[in-house]
Amino acid sequence: MAPDTRLYAAPGIRPAEPNARLHALFTVALCAVWVFTGLVPHDPWKPDEAYTFGLVLHILQTGDWVVPTLAGEPFMEKPPAFFLTAAAFAALFGGFFELHDSARLAAGFYLSIVLSFLALSARELYGREHGWVAPLALIGCVGLLIRAHQMITDTALLAGFAIGLYGLCLSARRPVLAGVALGTGAGLGFMAKGLLAPGLLGLCALLLPLAFSTWRRRQYLLVLLAAGAAILPWMTVWPLALHARSPDLFEQWFLVNNFGRFLGLNDLGPESAPGEYFVMLLWYAWPALPLAAWVLWQRGREAFVTPQLQLPVLVFVVSFVTLSLSADARELYAMPMLLPLSLLAAASIDALKRSAANFLDWFGIMTFGLLAIVLWTVYIALMTGAPAPLAARMAQLHPGFDARFDPWVLAVGIAATLFWIGLVWRVGRSNRRAIINWASGLTLFWVLTNLFLLSFIDHGKSYRGMIDELKVHIPAGHGCVASQSFGESQRALLDYFAGVRTQRVERVPSAAHSCDLYLWQGWAVDPEPLGEPWVKVWQGARPGDRRELYRLYRRDPAPG
């Protein structure tokens, strides 16, 4: 019988527990609640959700997936993997939910893939009993909570990273299957967001045998060959179809939106500041980051000769350095770094000093207990008007919000709170109690937030009401509508809610002279942007938004 080359049994990692199966079932249930809470129902929010759904809407309306199109204009920032998946979910579940909510279910689909393959990676590295710890560490990361539940391509990118990371973890035991997983993950990441995933995963795959002797074996070549074969269809079918459709659009996507963003040759995204990701991860990756730091501190130099730690450390360092060198930076770009940190956290939790584990446990219980009290207080204020100062403040934030009592919301809120209290009370005394209570506390916070405040938040963030008001002032059979400074998210939502597509004067200057209607977006403090022959017929904003202002003008056929 061939020897088992699984990369587990690292020194200092605890052996199997008798309750491992029960813990695994609990993890699946908790992750399911965490994943699917908050996906519905709310309108697409700007900036990322709104323009993403605009691209999904184009596929639903036309069936064209080759050229991502937003409100009638090519939008070449990202390949179409997530848009296609979201369109499929919208088509399948559009009869049960609103179209945009159905499309957002794609985020839950990709999150399920992420957590499943992260559990497989932890199991492969550290043994079966550790497979449930890494997903709890990931869903406990503060920065992942909101972004992961949005309709954005980064969830598909994260799924690709998770599959590719599992391939690297599996490489010592089943090289061909590992290569297929590595290539498939890199390919999915490529079709989600371009060259980042194949670049990072490919660099890690090449550096592993160069840096560590564990991967310096002849069979590792099978991993690389299988990965190359698996990624080939992902990296050829859509790019070739796009190039055949329009070489100019292909160049815009490949050069401007891949290399241009990284090198800072365009102004498509926010500029990166020195040390931005370092500072960001201090809160974004909590508590996975301090747990990962602990195992490296405890093991010292031994960590770099332990294969189970070499792999996640290398993946994190390569991702961190690459993203830090990029001229374009956003907090959601840090999501892939949470995967190796969660693996390291799974390795560290059992070796953590009991005092540190107790502190994390106590800190989590106090934090989420206090947040639950705050959320219950806000809910009571919305329902009853007491305490009056808080109710007045909420009304000031989102004017016109109509709070309606739902007994099911109250019942589920009480059940979730009591379940968390019972869980905190009954979980056995161990280091793993800290990560269980933290993940469950964050999930309670997420559940109560969506139960009590989702409709309130959506009232202020949604453009539906404002666009409905605007639509009244756009006559049936109108000619073209010119727009100035009109954002991508707003153009997508105007197309969705009103069926109106504007001609941007930034792109088509002649629209300012040929169109009968003119839509302007700017700040509330800005003076009137247009004079004769334009007459303002409408002005509006979202409820409580004192910054963004929208004005609609009609061309006066007889000035004066």
Record the tokens describing residue 269, joined without a space: 């995204």
User: Band of the pLDDT at 16, cuts 50, 70, 90?
Assistant: very low
Residue 9: inside a domain: no
Q: Which domain holds residue 210?
A: 20-41+78-247+269-348
Interval 70-85 mean pLDDT: 95
Interval 363-374 mean pLDDT: 95
Q: Is the pLDDT of residue 479 over 90?
A: no
Q: Which of 282, 315, 348 is the last residue of a domain?
A: 348
Residue 91: inside a domain: yes
Interval 236-261 mean pLDDT: 93
Phi-psi region of 289 (alpha: psi -120 to 50; beta: other; left: phi over 0): alpha
Compute the distance between CA of residue 301 and CA of residue 299 in angstroms, rounded to an integer: 6
419 and 334: one domain? no
Q: Is the pLDDT of residue 369 over 90?
A: yes
- Name every residue whose Cβ is closer than 8 Å to that of residue 299 and which is 6 or more positions away in sequence: 12, 306, 309
Residue 4: inside a domain: no
Interval 394-399 mean pLDDT: 91
Beta-carbon count within 10 A of 255 CB: 12
Interval 400-409 mean pLDDT: 93
Q: Which of 348, 373, 406 is the last residue of a domain?
A: 348
208 and 96: one domain? yes
Q: What is the pLDDT of residue 10?
A: 41
User: Among the listed ranges 158-162, 356-360, 389-393, 548-552, which one has the minimum average pLDDT value?
Assistant: 356-360
Residue 369: inside a domain: yes
427 and 476: one domain? no
- On the question of a cis peptide bond just before residue 18, with omega within 30 degrees of 0, the verdict is no
Q: What is the pLDDT of residue 7?
A: 46
Q: What is the pLDDT of residue 35?
A: 97
User: Band of the pLDDT at 355, cuts 50, 70, 90?
Assistant: confident
162 and 188: one domain? yes
Q: What is the pLDDT of residue 558?
A: 60
Amino acid making up residue 512: A
Three-state DSSP state, 73: strand
Q: Parallel, antiparallel, or unpaired for β 517-523 and 481-484?
A: parallel
Q: What is the pLDDT of residue 257?
A: 87
Interval 80-105 mean pLDDT: 96
299 and 382: one domain? no
Q: What is the pLDDT of residue 268?
A: 65
Q: What is the pLDDT of residue 208?
A: 94
435 and 392: one domain? yes
240 and 299: one domain? yes
Interval 87-110 mean pLDDT: 96
Q: Is the pLDDT of residue 400 over 70?
A: yes
Which of 55-69, 472-486, 530-544 has the highest average model confidence (pLDDT)?
A: 55-69
Residue 476: inside a domain: yes
Q: What value does the mean pLDDT of the chain take?
A: 90
294 and 204: one domain? yes
Which of 175-184, 207-216, 355-364 has the highest average model confidence (pLDDT)?
A: 175-184
Q: Residue 161 in contact with residue 316, Cβ under 8 Å?
A: no
Record the tokens describing residue 252, joined without a space: 């815009």
Q: Parallel, antiparallel, or unpaired for β 73-74 and 69-70?
A: antiparallel
User: Among the listed ranges 49-63, 117-131, 232-246, which one has the minimum average pLDDT value?
Assistant: 117-131
Q: Residue 181 in contact with residue 134, Cβ under 8 Å?
A: no
Compute the distance between CA of residue 233 and CA of residue 47 in angstroms, rounded to an integer: 31
Q: What is the pLDDT of residue 350?
A: 78
Interval 303-317 mean pLDDT: 91
Q: What is the pLDDT of residue 307?
A: 87
Interval 286-306 mean pLDDT: 87
Closest-CA residue to 144 (of 182, 183, 118, 181) = 118
Q: What is the pLDDT of residue 330?
A: 87
Compute the distance between CA of residue 100 and CA of residue 461 in angstroms, rounded to an integer: 15
- On the question of a cis peptide bond just before residue 41, with omega within 30 degrees of 0, the verdict is yes
212 and 132: one domain? yes
Q: What is the pLDDT of residue 1?
A: 30
Over residues 159-171, the pLDDT tens digits come to 999 999 999 999 9
193 and 305: one domain? yes
238 and 150: one domain? yes
Closest-CA residue to 51 (of 451, 548, 520, 496) = 496
Compute the distance between CA of residue 54 and CA of residue 74 in angstroms, rounded to an integer: 11
Q: What is the pLDDT of residue 267?
A: 66
User: Among the listed ranges 47-61, 153-167, 238-252, 413-427, which one has the minimum average pLDDT value?
Assistant: 413-427
Q: What is the pLDDT of residue 530?
A: 87
Closest-CA residue to 326 (of 267, 259, 256, 251) = 259
Count of structural domains, the chain:
3
Q: Which of 420, 441, 459 is the last residue of a domain?
A: 459
Record the tokens describing residue 246, joined without a space: 């329009």
Q: Please list the residues that pair with 535 across neighbouring strands.
A: 554
- At residue 540, φ and ψ (nearest 5 deg) are -165, 175
105 and 239: one domain? yes
User: Among the listed ranges 247-261, 262-276, 322-336, which one has the minimum average pLDDT value?
Assistant: 262-276
User: Band of the pLDDT at 11, cuts 50, 70, 90?
Assistant: very low
Residue 526: inside a domain: yes
Closest-CA residue to 43 (of 493, 453, 405) = 493
Over residues 489-518, the pLDDT tens digits come to 999 999 999 999 999 999 999 988 889 999
Residue 560: inside a domain: no
Interval 287-300 mean pLDDT: 90
Q: Residue 485 in contact with residue 65, Cβ under 8 Å?
A: no
Closest-CA residue to 120 (of 153, 82, 167, 175) = 167
Q: How far is CA 372 from the centre of its chain?
A: 24
Residue 61: inside a domain: no
C-alpha distance from residue 431 to each of 14, 15, 167, 341, 513 (Å) = 11, 14, 29, 18, 69
Compute the distance between CA of residue 343 and CA of residue 326 in angstroms, rounded to an integer: 25
